[in-house]
Structure 1
């Protein structure tokens, strides 16, 4: 009976998340889960390290800006490259470079030489790597599962990243306080071993055609991407909303999280409760990913994109007024759920609407809107937060996101109705 119960549970999971039916995807996903935990350990350690050494919200924004500048400049070229070469090999290279970069930061911190400038440089290099890794990783999901299970594949990738948000920050804050920042960075470097092993084991299914050059230059490939964006009004609307969610939502609360904890909630950087704030976002993100996977075939993707953005804005407005720790945990759970619902569904629609041979470039446009624009939001959040306070920065960002969402929904109701 117990075995039958386990079998039924497994069947329900694979029914809800159809991407898990593909062995290659399961291997890649498992490796990614481990690596993402290390990434979040480093992310929280960098924020704590910078704020602990400088006490400056603008310094937090500068780190975000440093990682975003190369992403903004090169992300579209990364999409062109991913459309032309073997994605598995390219991911093996980018993941190896991430590991080496984390090792370098760990070495600097261990010898007491990790100044703010060094962290900015490391963030800049990570931004360069992300410009290639981001679109390649997302398009690789399509290669592994095909169009029929893409929605659940994207949702699971988002879920794994945000599940790591539950474990990583809580673990990272403990490691930071007890062992030091260098051990956080070293743990991140080691975690990339899991995804490298997974990539070594994975073989792309035969139905996927290998990447190849389309006979035009890299710059020509970028022009083709922009040309596609001009002709596809639905994709353009989705990306505009994703960009707004990134600039006015994601970058604002992520950049100011150390200041939110200290100024609004009275939690110091050394308090282990700090990591639980990120964990609350991760729990909400898991709920959002489950909702996306559960409704993958429900035909309401356009509504999910706009509804998720509106809920994201409302949750951030609520966060701006909260000074009680337990209430902040609840609201941050809602933040994570709404953000993943919007971003994961937008990612799926962008790939589904894209023609073959343009998919990685379409993903790069999505990644540009989601990540490439974040440094501008980070700079805005840091400046407003420094001058007018954390609550005002959150209110400005949330209000702007809500206005953009309503405006686009009124202008393009056909996109809201997309299946």
Structure 2
């Protein structure tokens, strides 16, 4: 018996499944805490060092482990009960957050320490993210997969709305340490939600295959499917040239507009609001235009919107444009992720998600650090606008060379 009755927007169909809804709520609470920590640490590092290179470098350390560990995480997720696997990873994240909080309360926090803990947190996240994505796919039927992926992105971005707003309040009232404490406690919500989900089937046949053979098989499947390869290349370009706008928000707010935590929170919140709005509409847009055509439209427009964001003359205009940018980014990235998973059987979905995470994390880490380092030398606007224009040129070139790849070949 279905206990949830929500408006029949196709984008919300995944909420019809109670297990998915419970995990979604728990993840939202944790994401709110994570964004509180992200804003607090971004402001702390930017103000402590005064260099975009350091701000981008700390963000990069969180995503860098994805380059090596994502395939391992995907293979492990296809060997064990995914619910238990995610719960253990969440406990590790809780411990790391608690260490960071303790250091802040005892006045022992420093930029190098933040970097080390960010790296280990990135390792933990990288190992459990494929299992989490594949677990969500198992909690809904195949027809609701795109809804599940879009709503998962929506909760991440809803946390991006609430978290920065709470961070600005907590930072003004209690300081960095209290924002970190809230993040530590937020991981408990994930554990409570996982306790309400039934254990998922273990893949004993896959486990007998061997870990490295599983990893190699995942790479082989992705390489042999031109549609998956296209999505992974698209992810690489977006993550390296456009996505750094996320990690460089504190630099933009402080260096260009001369403001701190309040402006950072405003921009991050507006991006999240745009993403949540897009999540509510993307199902209807997919039903109308088709998944591949929608991805082609958004891939073409996101570079233009990114350019307009970096050229914004005022904070108010930047807030408006980043709302649109957040919507574009959410539709593009969640769509490519869902498309990759939809082309493989369930026993391969965690490994396919891990390849997506590997490309996203590696390209984003390189992009946010590289653009940050160049921004210190050439200026934040010049570097980021140049990256956005390069992305536009690459997409237009691909559209001219292979126009049918953008509008056909639906899964």
Same-fold call, TM cutoff 0.5: yes
Q: How far apart in 2 are the matches of 1:306 and 1:114? A: 45
CA distance in 1, matches of 2:361, 2:296: 19
- Indicate conservation of the 8 Å contact 1:31/1:194, yes or no: yes
Task: Identify the residue that residue 388 of structure 1 maps to in structure 2.
Answer: 378
Q: In the alignment, which of 210, 230, 235 is matched to residue 202 of structure 2?
A: 210
Equivalent of residue 254 in structure 2, options 262, 285, 289: 262
Q: Which residue of 2 aligns with 1:295?
A: 285
> Pick from 68, 83, 90: which aligns with 2:63?
68
Contact 1:241–1:404 (CA under 8 A) maintained in structure 2: no
Per-residue deviation, 1:220: 1.9
The correspondence for 1:223, drawn from 186, 193, 216, is: 216
Q: Secondary structure at the match of 1:295?
A: helix
Mapped partners of 1:48, 1:327: distance in 2: 21
User: Contact 1:38 / 1:189 at 8 angstroms: preserved in 2?
Assistant: yes
Q: How far off its partner does 1:142 sit? A: 0.8
Q: 1:171 aligns with which of 150, 166, 169?
A: 166
Cα RMSD, aligned residues only:
1.8
Residue 158 (structure 1) aligns with:
153
Matches within 5 A, 1:5-154: 10-13=5-8, 15-154=10-149
Cα distance in 1, alignment partners of residues 217 and 19 from structure 2: 31
Hey, what does 1:371 align to over in structure 2? Answer: 361
- The list of structure 1 runs, each at least 4 consecutive aligned residues, that deviate by more than 4 angstroms after superposition, is none
Provide the TM-score with structure 1 as the length reference. 0.92
CA distance in structure 2 between the aligned counterparts of 1:415 and 1:129, rounded to whole angstroms = 36
Aligned residue in 1 for 2:305: 315
Deviation at 1:209, TM superposition (A): 4.2
CA deviation string 1:222-252 (max 9, x = no partner): 21122112210110001100111111111x2
Instruction: Report the Cα offset of residue 405 of structure 1.
Output: 2.1
Separation of aligned partners in 1, 2:334 and 2:303 = 16
Query: SS at the partner of 1:357?
Result: helix
Work out whether residues 86 and 132 of structure 2, in 8 Å CA contact, stay in contact via their aligned partners in 1.
Answer: yes
Contact (CA 8 Å) 1:60, 1:382: kept in 2 or not? yes
The offset of 1:257, in angstroms, is: 1.0
SS of the residue 1:373 aligns to: helix
In the aligned structure 1, how far is the partner of 2:225 from the partner of 2:404? 13
C-alpha change, 1:362 and 1:74, in structure 2 (3 Å) is same
Deviations, residues 276-329 of structure 1 (Å, cap 9, x unaligned): 111100111012212222234345211222222222211110012112121111
The alpha-carbon deviation at position 380 of structure 1 amounts to 1.2
- Contact (CA 8 Å) 2:20, 2:136: kept in 1 or not? yes
Q: CA deviation at 1:11?
A: 4.2
> Which deviates more from structure 2 when the two are superposed, residues 92-101 or residues 363-372?
363-372
CA distance in 1, matches of 2:176, 2:120: 19
Q: Is the 8 A contact 2:285 2:294 kept in 1?
A: no
Could you tell me how far apart the structure 1 residues matched to 2:306 and 2:372 are?
Answer: 16
Match of 2:409 in 1: 418
> Is 2:232 the counterpart of 1:239?
yes
**SS at structure 2 position matched to 1:328:** helix
Say how many residue pairs are matched: 406
- Verify the 8 A CA contact 2:11 2:150 in the aligned structure 1: no
Q: Distance in 1 between matches of 2:85 and 2:205?
A: 15
Q: Aligned partners of 1:324 and 1:360: how far apart in 2?
A: 42
Q: How many Å separate the matches in 2 of 1:319 and 1:180?
A: 30
How far did 1:368 drift? 1.5
Residue ranges of structure 2 left out of the alignment (5+ in a row): none
Question: Structure 1 residues 213 and 175 mapped into 2: Cα distance closer, same or farther (>3 Å)?
Answer: farther
SS of alignment partner, residue 189 of structure 1: helix
Query: Contact 1:241–1:408 (CA<8 Å) still a contact in 2?
Result: no
